[in-house]
Structure 1
Amino acid sequence: MSDLFRDSKISLSLADYTRDDCPLIGINARFAELSGYSASECLGRNCRFLQPEGGAGPVRERMRAFLHEEEKDHSRFVVPNVRKDGTPFLNLLYMSKLQRDGRTALILGSQFDISRANANDSEIYDRALHEDLINLKLLTEKTNWSLVTSLEALASSHAIIAQARIDP
């Protein structure tokens, strides 16, 4: 799992669902770059600290509802966030529940800044996704998983790999 975090060009975060307030226990370099926060400033905190003063609005309730819906293992949300320097951005957040012993143990987040989405950004995302999909394919060839090239598939694929890493 550490290789997945280290090598991904996609912003990734990992939160411990079993602990009070679901604190972050892992972020990758791309997450630090996107948010402006270092790992030491993020770890141990709930990701709400990225939301603007006053909160994220109604999306926050939808995210909470998703976390309590046992039948759903992943979903996506557009969340207003604020970087460390105060710059606001729209975060397209994919959340995936990772299971341990049949219970949700971790939440894997894949974040994409969509606030300035344009053709160039789409190309950058596509290139990053393509590279991650190639790396994920190499990791999963032995299990015969097939992957689809889309943001949602990538987020789900990261979750599948992470889940495989925590399963005995």
Structure 2
Amino acid sequence: MTEPTQSPAEAQEPHGHGRHLRFHLPYAHLSSPFGDDWFALKAEAFARFFGTPTFLIAQTFIVMLWVIANVSGMTKFDIYPFILLNLAFSLQSAYAAPLILLAQTRQADRDKAHADADAQHREELAHAAEQRQVEMAVQTEKLATLLEQNTKLTELTRQLSERIEILTSEMHRKFVAANP
């Protein structure tokens, strides 16, 4: 299976399929050592096809037909010991091995870029968490200061209320004593 290619604009799309790749955008400009041209992409797709059940079943079916056709006498182009079939397998192996290595190298490059992006994202998250802790400590200190001021004001209000009550009582006594 090949990974879907995606433009940076598609990766930033809020409801798009590639939204999870937004942290990998800084690495979108990187190309693999083998390039991202038509040949490299097709070679990688072909190499990936080698490992699929479809390829293995198709190859088995073709080899069975080849052997049955030549053993039964329907054709005589590659009689036993099937030298042409061995040559075809050798040719397939000669191309398959480098193509598989190419696909593995390209995948390793993608994995490294994704790992780098993930590590950078984790660092950014850690830095943001540290900033939030510092801001939280500052806010906690401000809240403690405000609470202390509120406590002092409440105490002052209580004292003033008591003083007002005493003064009111004294004034009441003086008014009552002056107006018998």
Which protein shows a greater Rg? 2
Task: Please give the TM-score of this superposition, normalised by the length of structure 2.
Answer: 0.20
More strand by share: 1
Task: Please give the TM-score of this superposition, normalised by the length of structure 1.
Answer: 0.21
